[in-house]
Amino acid sequence: MKEEIHSLEENHSLEEKHSTDLVEVIAKALVDNPEEVVVTEKTEGRNTVIELHVAPSDMGKVIGKQGRIAKAIRSVVKAASFREKKSVDVEIV
């Protein structure tokens, strides 16, 4: 029984990190300066805010024309976090 509880806690921790890693991988693939990509996570109850920081010169690449890339990143993260039953928002700062 203890092993099952421990396993569930590990899976929950991995799923929380999963959204953050997902944003980081996507952002690094888009930008010219992947070493300057920083992703932070703030959790308040069931709500999680993932902040994506990129170099100023890469901001346009992450946002895209009319915000299409940013909207796509948010959609993918929301879909990935659906299993967690958490509200996840992505902010690009």
pLDDT tens, residue order, the chain (93 aa): 444 434 434 444 445 568 899 999 999 999 999 999 999 999 888 889 999 999 999 999 999 999 999 999 999 999 988 877 788 999 999
Provide the whole-model pTM.
Answer: 0.78
Environment class of residue 34 by beta-carbon count within 10 Å: exposed (0-12), middle (13-18) or buried (19+)?
Answer: middle
CA 61 to chain centre: 17
Residue ranges of domains in the chain, CATH in brackets: 2-92 (3.30.300.20)
